[in-house]
């Protein structure tokens, strides 16, 4: 499991608006006895709709988590290879359309 931040792509599994930065838990299936594989987690998160990932921490989970949403993501990662939980609260707000237009006009 990895703790990361990532920017939402236009289509992401969490339904977050494009461009917003969110905290993420990235679950990545790995063979027993191997170290955490950031590269595999990065590929899985990209497939789930996240870019510009910054990984802060990683840890192997010794057992299936008890919390229902986290255990569901854990199970998905075992089946699919990777799963991502995104915090619904954005770390940075998405630029408003008016702000984006103003930047284009200034350029």
* Domain chopping of the chain, boundaries: 2-106
Q: Convert the pLDDT of each residue in 78-95 to its tens digit.
A: 999 999 999 988 997 666
Angle, alpha carbons 76-61-17 (nearest 5°): 50
Tell me what pLDDT residue 32 has: 83
Q: What is the mean pLDDT of each run of 10 residues along the chain (107 residues)?
A: 95 91 94 88 95 94 89 94 93 64 59
Q: Is the dihedral of CA 70, 84, 24, 100 positive or negative?
A: negative
CA–CA gap between residue 6 and residue 54 (Å, rounded):
6
Tell me what pLDDT residue 103 has: 59
Tell me what pLDDT residue 61 has: 86
């Amino acid at each position: 499991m990895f703790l990361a931040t990532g920017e939402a792509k236009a289509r992401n599994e969490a339904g977050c608006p494009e461009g917003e930065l969110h905290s993420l838990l990235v679950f990545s299936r790995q063979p027993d006895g191997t170290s955490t594989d950031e590269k595999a987690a990065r590929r899985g998160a990209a497939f789930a709709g996240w870019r510009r990932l910054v990984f802060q921490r990683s840890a192997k989970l010794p057992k299936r988590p008890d919390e229902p949403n986290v255990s569901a993501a854990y199970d998905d990662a075992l089946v699919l290879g990777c799963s991502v939980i995104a915090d619904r609260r954005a770390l940075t707000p998405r630029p408003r359309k008016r702000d984006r237009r103003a930047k284009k006009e200034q350029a």
